[in-house]
Amino acid sequence: MQNKEKEALLKPFRPWYNNWWVWLIIILIVLFFRYKSLSGVKNKAYHPQTYNGVTANYIHRKAKLTYDDETYSISSRKIYHLDYKNNDWKKASFRVNKVIIYKTRRGFNLDDSEDHINGEKTYHGFARVYMYVMAHKKIEVDPCSADFAFSNLEQHEVDNLDEDWDGTIKKDATKSGHVTVPINKLKNPEEIKWLSLKFDVSDKNDNDSRMIFKLNLEK
């Protein structure tokens, strides 16, 4: 027994880096993190994103959009980052900073009062406009009931119970929100090259006016 203990004491110390199993563990760890890194790059390339004006083709397969108390599945979208400003009306300043065109996974029907002759129509997407309104006087604005026109010659009126951020704005106050409208003919979000919207505005003296925005989506 004493001889074995003596041999153990005389046995030279073996540093940790001289053990083969230590290096095997290190190699496996490196390979694991390298795989995770490459997987992340692959996923990012599969869903390209651009912030210089346009973001396209990235959409989660469970993405949803709510319009008029109904929820719709989205298959693709295109995001346009804009810097549109309109100061035509002296009582307020308007800015549009983003437009998103959505393509739905399936066509859908709406009870469209503007097209009562044809009854329900089949739609395939939405346009959503994000804007700011800065009041210089106490005003009333109505973008959530805007009339839209598109480059594909469609015209629609907004009728969305989920959007009611407009209305009265006090002097020197700012309101912001989005306005959403359905689109009939849409195979690809990139088909829409421009859109325009018209909505009513008025001041406390009931001096009515009408704002007209034309937003160019071509880059």
For 28-49, what is each residue's pLDDT tens digit?
Answer: 887 877 765 544 433 433 344 4
H helix runs in the chain, sequence order: 2-10, 20-46
For residue 18, what pLDDT is reported?
64
Across 181-197, average pLDDT:
94
Compare 131 and 115 and report the one with higher pLDDT.
131
For residue 60, what pLDDT is reported?
59
**CATH (residue range 54-216):** 2.60.40
The CA dihedral of 162, 168, 174, 180, to the nearest 10 degrees, is 30
For residue 70, what pLDDT is reported?
86
3-state helix, strand, coil in the chain (%, to 5): 20, 45, 30
Compare 13 and 117 and report the one with higher pLDDT.
13
> Can you give the residue ranges of every domain in the chain?
2-46, 54-216
pLDDT above 70 as % of the chain: 70
Confidence of residue 126 (pLDDT cuts 50, 70, 90): very high
* H/E element, 124: strand 121-135
Convert 54-92 to b/e letters by CB count within 10 Å (16 or more is b).
ebbebbeeeeebebeeeebebebbbbbebebeeeebebb
pTM of the model: 0.70
Compare 121 and 39 and report the one with higher pLDDT.
121
pLDDT for 163 beyond 80: no
Q: Rounded distance, CA 80 to CA 174, Å?
A: 22
pLDDT for 74 beyond 50: yes
